[in-house]
């Protein structure tokens, strides 16, 4: 047998154990070893086969490093067909997670027993794929067509108990899994059980016909934001329940391979690996001893501070929120309570969970309570002087070794740290709103931030369910720094003749969750106006963000005032074009001497995207971003960038760096060099054919 698959006997039972750490992925060695074990079980006198996995989990998926490479025999579908065809009962023992190919392997068995804490799922859709090893044929036979479609297109795993209720699992145990599985196998043999191939089950198709599948595809086309994999899953599922198994398998495999080679899947796999890469610490931080973080303080109970507090409390940590006075403290607590109560009303948490969360939150006006905290996160007004004053107070109050973090989205972290006697303890934790929901956390390392502080906060981010990206200090760090040229070009285009609806429509058609004008209205145009007004380095250019500033000066702050780039009904979010704004823009363009013209959607996308990419290259040159993939991770998880395009830097490489550079140079000739001088890194990579680092 191979090193990854062992074959032993326990009396009349064959026990096949997969041991391919860390997650028992179905690599070529695993597939070959499993096929060898199946053939051995066919030939010997064992009466049943028990399939299990060593380590912390059952098979948690395929080895996706093999995707896009020449296939290595044996293929997983062939191995699982052989497992299903074994002429003696196959009992699969599931613990940890059975995901993707792991669940497909379990479904190819005849009987399934799961540890009570196990999770089962078919998350291939998250990588732009469909279950390619028989899942689209076997799942609907075990659990029904509708539940299996939800499992595949949603991508989220279900619990062992939910799997048992649905038919995916026959038995759930709280006892030690392998002894329970062996006992279950002997119980089955004593009862005269025979092989029970899933393929032999007749699918239940009551109310399921061609029209039903077509309707599901239409619904997914509207909700999947440019993704094709969910619709292909519907196609494969339909084949799986209407065609003979061999034909369905062949056609589904063709669809799977088509998706593997698609830009969509490549982009989603890129982001999957980007998340892994972003978790890697710089060399000087890897062996640092982590500091203890159990007691957390949050300064400020506004929208952001409350969200940060909720994130910690939802993760089991105790948090103290400090506000300026009793009225503000009461508002902060009510903000937190009402958010969780709304989640309870929607069935997302129960009364017991709500009570536990509220027990973990304390709101006070006593700044001195910060003396007991392991970590303090400042989430107050975006003003450098105010933040420096607050950090000076923290320096005086907090115990030695406490981590002092700022949630600033663009202020100079080094200047904030300089207000303390311990800049090594200061770090940036830039959350994205709503902070208890958004996955991204920009972890900002200052010039003097200690390695153990970086390592502690990166670990803490994952502990509280965030995706951390480590960045350096500059105005706006990585995400907001790149957003400035994106927004600049949007507003330049308005002066040049595009309307807010045209700009937003082009970017939303590209795949952005919202266009830049709509985002400005949502965030509040006064926020950007104040930030720009406080900058001493703003360019001497009257066109620079002139439209947004003009609207803010008139009190048109966006949704909260019912008017910004667009008009909004009282308290509503549905936007309507405002002819008055479009006329104001035309008048301002005339005053500034900007000639207006017809602008295509293609130019809108290129101007915004390539300005952003060029700035991203500069961030890489300066070491503000560690990797191009970190930038992609930041934009896909914090800024509504379409995941199916892989992030702005991957998008540029998909287009071709040479083509991107050529368009930037063309814009330089058309619009002038002030904003369109290409990054040296982009020039070098385009010339050499290298990928962005």
* Residue 606 annotated as catalytic: no
Task: Please determine, for residue 223, whether its predicted confidence score (pLDDT) is greater than 90.
Answer: no
Structural class in CATH, domain 479-623+656-688: mainly alpha
Q: What is the rounded distance in angstroms from the CA atom of residue 490 to the CA atom of residue 608?
A: 7
Encoding tokens for residue 555? Answer: 């009190």
pLDDT at 1: 65
8 Å CB contact between 107 and 198: yes
From the number of C-beta atoms within 10 Å of its C-beta (0-12, 13-18, 19+), residue 227 rates as buried
Q: What is the rounded distance in angstroms from the CA atom of residue 440 to the CA atom of residue 647?
A: 14
The secondary structure of 230-262 as a DSSP string is HHHHHHHHHHHHHS-HHHHHHHHHHHHHHHHTS
Task: Please determine, for residue 294, whether its predicted confidence score (pLDDT) is greater than 70.
Answer: yes
Q: What is the rounded distance in angstroms from the CA atom of residue 511 to the CA atom of residue 648?
A: 12
Give me the residues paired with residue 625 across strands.
Answer: 471
Work out the pLDDT band at 627, boundaries 50, 70, 90: very high
pLDDT at 67: 79
Task: Please determine, for residue 225, whether its predicted confidence score (pLDDT) is greater than 80.
Answer: no
Select which of 36, 66, 84, 104 is catalytic. Answer: 104
Q: Token match 């008017």: residue?
A: 563
- CB-based burial, 169-181: b 16+ in 10 Å, e otherwise: bbebbeeebbebb
Task: Please determine, for residue 571, whether its predicted confidence score (pLDDT) is greater than 80.
Answer: no
Q: What are phi and psi of 430, to 5 degrees?
A: -90, 100
Give the N- to C-terminal CA distance of the chain in Å, as an integer. 41
Digit-coded pLDDT (tens) for 318-342: 999 999 999 999 999 999 999 999 9
Order the strands of the 48-53 sheet from edge to edge.
Answer: 5-10, 13-18, 48-53, 90-94, 111-115, 171-173
Encoding tokens for residue 636? Answer: 């896909």
Work out the pLDDT band at 316, boundaries 50, 70, 90: very high
The CATH number of 295-471 is: 3.40.50.720
pLDDT at 69: 80
Select which of 66, 84, 124, 247 is catalytic. Answer: 124
Digit-coded pLDDT (tens) for 72-90: 999 999 999 999 999 999 9
Q: Please, what is the Cα angle at 135 between 129 and 139, to 5 degrees?
A: 130
Work out the pLDDT band at 501, boundaries 50, 70, 90: very high
Q: What are phi and psi of 498, to 5 degrees?
A: -80, 155
Digit-coded pLDDT (tens) for 133-182: 999 999 999 999 999 999 999 999 999 999 999 999 999 999 999 999 99
- Which residue in 590, 505, 509 sits closest to 546, CA to CA? 590
Any idea where the domains of the chain sit in the sequence?
Answer: 5-260, 295-471, 479-623+656-688
- pTM for this one? 0.93
* Residue 104 annotated as catalytic: yes
What would the mean pLDDT of 274-280 be, rounded to a whole number? 96
8 Å CB contact between 642 and 520: no
Q: What is the rounded distance in angstroms from the CA atom of residue 404 to the CA atom of residue 382?
A: 16
What would the mean pLDDT of 183-191 be, rounded to a whole number? 98
Least confident range from 57-71, 229-243, 305-319, 609-623: namely 57-71
- Total length of the chain: 693
Contacts of 38 (CB under 8 A, 6+ apart): 16, 49, 79, 82, 83, 86
H helix runs in 8-75, sequence order: 28-43
Task: Please determine, for residue 365, whether its predicted confidence score (pLDDT) is greater than 80.
Answer: yes
Digit-coded pLDDT (tens) for 63-74: 888 877 888 999
Distance of CA 11 to the CA centre of its chain: 47
pLDDT at 64: 80
8 Å CB contact between 205 and 145: yes
8 Å CB contact between 442 and 428: yes
Encoding tokens for residue 416? Answer: 């904030």
- Which residue in 409, 419, 415 sits closest to 382, CA to CA? 409
- Which residue in 443, 478, 437, 439 sits closest to 459, CA to CA? 443
Digit-coded pLDDT (tens) for 523-568: 999 999 999 998 888 999 999 999 999 999 999 999 999 999 999 9
Taking only Cα atoms into account, the Rg of the chain, rounded to an integer number of angstroms, comes to 28
Q: What are phi and psi of 595, to 5 degrees?
A: -75, 135
pLDDT at 534: 86
**In this structure, which CATH number among 3.40.50.920, 3.40.367.20, 3.20.20.70, 3.90.226.10 belongs to the domain 5-260?**
3.90.226.10
pLDDT at 81: 97
């Amino acid at each position: 047998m191979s090193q990854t698959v062992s074959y032993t006997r326990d009396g009349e039972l064959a026990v096949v154990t997969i041991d391919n750490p860390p997650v028992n992925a179905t690599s070529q060695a695993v597939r070959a070893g499993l096929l060898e074990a199946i053939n051995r079980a066919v030939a010997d006198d064992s009466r049943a086969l028990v399939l299990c996995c060593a380590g912390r989990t059952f098979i948690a998926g395929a080895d996706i490093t093999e995707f896009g490479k020449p296939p290595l025999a044996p293929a997983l579908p062939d191995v699982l067909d052989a497992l299903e065809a074994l002429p003696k009962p196959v009992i699969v023992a599931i613990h940890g997670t059975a995901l993707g190919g792991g669940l497909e392997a379990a479904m190819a068995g005849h009987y399934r027993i799961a540890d009570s804490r196990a999770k089962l799922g078919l998350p291939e859709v998250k990588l732009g794929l469909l279950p390619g090893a028989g899942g689209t044929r076997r799942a609907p036979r075990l659990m029904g067509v509708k539940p299996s479609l939800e499992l595949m297109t949603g991508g989220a795993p279900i619990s062992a108990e939910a799997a048992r209720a649905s038919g995916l699992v026959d038995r759930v145990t709280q006892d030690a899994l392998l002894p329970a599985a062996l006992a279950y196998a002997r119980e089955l043999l004593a009862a005269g059980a025979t092989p029970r191939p899933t393929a032999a089950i007749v699918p239940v198709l009551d109310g399921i016909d061609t029209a039903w599948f077509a309707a599901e595809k239409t619904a997914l086309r509207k909700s999947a934001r440019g993704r094709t994999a969910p619709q292909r899953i519907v196609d494969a599922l339909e084949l799986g329940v209407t065609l003979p198994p061999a034909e369905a398998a062949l056609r589904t495999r063709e669809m799977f391979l088509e998706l593997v080679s698609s830009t969509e899947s490549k982009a989603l796999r890129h982001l999957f690996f980007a998340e892994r890469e972003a978790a890697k610490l710089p060399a000087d931080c890897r062996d640092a001893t982590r500091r203890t973080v159990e007691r957390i303080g949050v300064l400020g109970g506004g929208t952001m501070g409350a969200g940060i507090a909720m994130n910690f409390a939802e993760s089991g940590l105790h948090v103290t929120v400090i506000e300026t006075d009793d009225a503000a403290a009461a508002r902060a607590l009510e903000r937190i309570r009402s958010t969780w109560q709304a989640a309870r009303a929607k069935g997302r948490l129960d009364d017991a969970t709500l009570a536990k969360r509220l027990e973990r939150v304390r709101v006070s006006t006593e700044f001195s309570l910060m003396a007991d905290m392991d970590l303090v996160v400042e989430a107050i007004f975006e003003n450098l002087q105010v933040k420096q004053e607050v950090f000076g107070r923290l320096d005086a109050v907090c115990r030695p070794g406490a981590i002092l973090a700022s949630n600033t989205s663009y202020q100079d972290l080094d200047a904030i740290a300089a207000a303390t006697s311990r800049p090594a303890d200061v770090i940036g934790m830039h959350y994205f709103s709503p902070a208890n929901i958004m996955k991204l956390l920009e972890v900002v390392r200052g010039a003097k931030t200690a390695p153990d502080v970086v390592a502690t906060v990166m670990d803490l981010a994952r502990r509280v369910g965030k995706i951390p990206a480590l960045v350096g200090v500059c105005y706006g760090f990585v995400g907001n720094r790149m957003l400035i040229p994106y927004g600049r070009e949007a507003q330049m285009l308005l002066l040049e003749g595009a309307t807010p609806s045209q700009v937003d429509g082009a970017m939303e058609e590209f795949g952005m969750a919202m266009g830049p004008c709509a985002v400005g209205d949502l965030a509040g145009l006064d926020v950007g106006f104040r930030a720009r007004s406080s900058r001493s380095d703003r360019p001497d250019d009257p066109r620079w963000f002139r439209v947004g500033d003009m609207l803010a000066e008139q009190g048109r702050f966006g949704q909260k005032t019912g008017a910004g780039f667009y008009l909004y009904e009282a308290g509503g979010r549905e936007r309507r074009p405002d002819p008055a704004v479009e006329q104001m823009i035309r008048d301002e363009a005339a005053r500034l001497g900007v000639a207006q013209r017809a602008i295509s959607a293609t130019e809108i996308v290129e101007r915004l995207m390539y300005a952003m990419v060029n700035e991203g290259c500069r961030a890489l040159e300066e070491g503000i971003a560690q990797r191009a993939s970190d930038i992609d991770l930041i934009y896909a998880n914090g800024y509504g960038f379409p995941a199916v395009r892989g992030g702005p830097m991957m998008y540029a490489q998909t287009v071709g760096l040479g083509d991107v550079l050529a368009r930037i140079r063309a814009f330089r000739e058309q619009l002038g060099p002030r904003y369109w001088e290409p990054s040296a890194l982009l020039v070098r990579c385009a010339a050499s054919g290298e990928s962005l680092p």
